[in-house]
Amino acid sequence: MTHHSETTGPSDNGDDGGIGRGQRPDSLAHTAYDGHTDEHRITLRTPAELADALPYLLGYRPEDSIVLVALHDRDGRGRFGGRARLGVPANPDDWDSAARQLVHGLVTGSERRGARPEQMVAYLCQEPSKGETGRQVMSRLRPLAQKLRVECGTFDVPVVEALCISDGRFWSYCCDDRSCCPAEGVPMGLPGTSVLAAAATYAGIQVRGTLRELRARLLPRDDFAAEQQAALDRAGLALIPRMLGEQEGADVARETLALADRVMKRLGEAPFLVGAAESDVRDDGLLDHDEAAKLIIGLQDRTTRDRAAEWMEADEAGPALRLWRALARRCVGSYGEHAAAPLTLAGWVAWSAGDELEAREALAMAMGADPEYLFARLLHQACNEGLDPEAVRHCLRAARGDRLRSGAEEAEDAQGAAAPAIEPAPGAGKPPVSEPAPGAGKPPVSEVAPGTGKPPVSEPAPGAENPRLLASDVVPGTRRRRTRTAAPADNRHRPGVPGVRRGREPGTNTVRPHAPAGSARPGGTPTGRTTRPRAASKGEGTRRDAHPGTHGAEHPGSEE
């Protein structure tokens, strides 16, 4: 089972309500957004209303989850702060480490943002297994709730309410009053019928269904797995040997990006569909197996992937996100590890567009597909820390602008090289018909060689000045041609740009062969899987991508 944690942005960015210091949750006040006036403030008076608030705090309905919500004191009243989620470990022996990881991550993360929690609210969400009731789930998870309370106590952060939600009911682990929290549990209200739901709808807060529905948009599809795997095999045999070469690798990169651009335009021209499932099926029909295979294999080159990350805003973001989702769904069978690239791109575009929920989930799934995929880990941590993606967008824009300007200069140089290399002689009304005489400082007027009907062809003397450069020095308005320098041999990263390199030099292509049969993606990843190491390009060992400008600490989530 794969567990991962997700923390929202800074507490003041997700500060949606809270509990007063030392008070029960019957005095809990909720504010939909920071900056809203008092007319938008809602008071949650009962544990039932607190249970109903959970989907609006996360943006989706959690399943099989441990959720912690931090509370901060403001003017004597609490406010909701950061949130963290972790899957419920199937083995109770893992509950100690899960509770420790979740509490430590949320408390220390809040401290880094300058707002240490004063209190906590804990939720345990799990549906009954076959033959089990919701009350039995509550009883079975009680030791886990106690471990959470003890772990929070080690940080001097009390848990003021702990709720179990199962089978359409909720139970409180903290309240012994049977009038409000009976032993059989309290039925949850119909979704969207509470005062909080109405206020959230008015404020524009949306609940995106369940986490399972969100993951389904990124998991491989089984209905065309055989055809897609055959196409991936063909593409790998055709492209990987080319990607290992310097010149041919650059050609594959250009082909991959051109194909991606064509498919994005195709997706952008398709009619809009409201339902996510219907839209994904339509997008899958617009992308054939061979196209998807070429794109998946091509994106294993990380320089190509970084170039694709530039499609992140304006009219490019929507089609790009749909394409990366579709490619993630095509990483079937033994190619599950290849999904790290499209999943990371999907997470990046979602984060850039402001959808932190899908961004965190896509990036966590990318780390599940390849735990050593550094680009995904860095983006996941940056998203969880509430950093502004504009810094990354600015760097990618700058890299794109530099490349476009460089391409324009190269085209201009090529055009100049094709022009006649003859300059007018000083004082002449027409160009001379010969090169400068040896040792001459300026082009002479040539004479006709005796006995011939054509002028002699003379070569410049060794060390003689180039007459074109001399003309550019003395003739006003003549532009001196710049000498272009080669890209640095070590192909250093551009400072501040995650994975964006100045030029392609030998040893920059890293090609990943597909994983052996039996491996899978998060949500179906068998434990104990083995994978073959990636093939590194000639001239280097196995290279990990490095992205300056982003914190490199590994996020505690996504462990198997």
Q: Both 250 and 154 in a single domain? A: no
Could you give the angle at which helices 356-369 and 340-352 cross, rounded to 10 degrees?
160
Within a domain: residue 472?
no
Closest CA to 367 of 153, 130, 559, 166: 559
What tens digit of pLDDT does each residue of 141-156 get?
999 999 999 999 999 9
Q: Would residue 195 count as lying in a domain?
A: yes
pTM above 0.75? no
Q: Is residue 421 scored above 90 in pLDDT?
A: no
**pLDDT computed for residue 237 by the predictor:** 96
Q: What is the pLDDT of residue 366?
A: 96
How confident is the prediction for the chain on average, in pLDDT? 74
Domain edge (last residue) among 209, 228, 247: 209
Q: pLDDT at residue 103 above 60?
A: yes
CA angle 360, 363, 364 (to 5 degrees): 80
Instruction: Give phi and psi for 511, each to the nearest 5.
Output: -110, 135
Do 116 and 189 share a domain, yes or no? yes
For residues 301 and 354, membership in a common domain is answered with yes
> Do 226 and 205 have their domain in common?
no
For tokens 């896509």, the residue is 362
Domain count for the chain, please give it. 2
Question: What pLDDT shows up at residue 270?
Answer: 92
Residues 290 and 196 in one domain: no
Q: Are 52 and 30 in contact (CB under 8 A)?
A: no
Q: Which domain holds residue 172?
A: 6-209
Q: What percent of the chain clears pLDDT 90, i.e. is strictly above it?
A: 42
Given 192, 209, 226, the domain boundary residue is 209
pLDDT digits (tens, 9 = 90+) for 433-478: 444 444 444 444 444 444 444 444 444 444 444 433 333 333 333 3
Comparison of pLDDT for 281 and 25, the residue scoring more? 281
d(CA 502, CA 315): 26
* pLDDT digit string, tens, across residues 161-171: 999 999 999 99
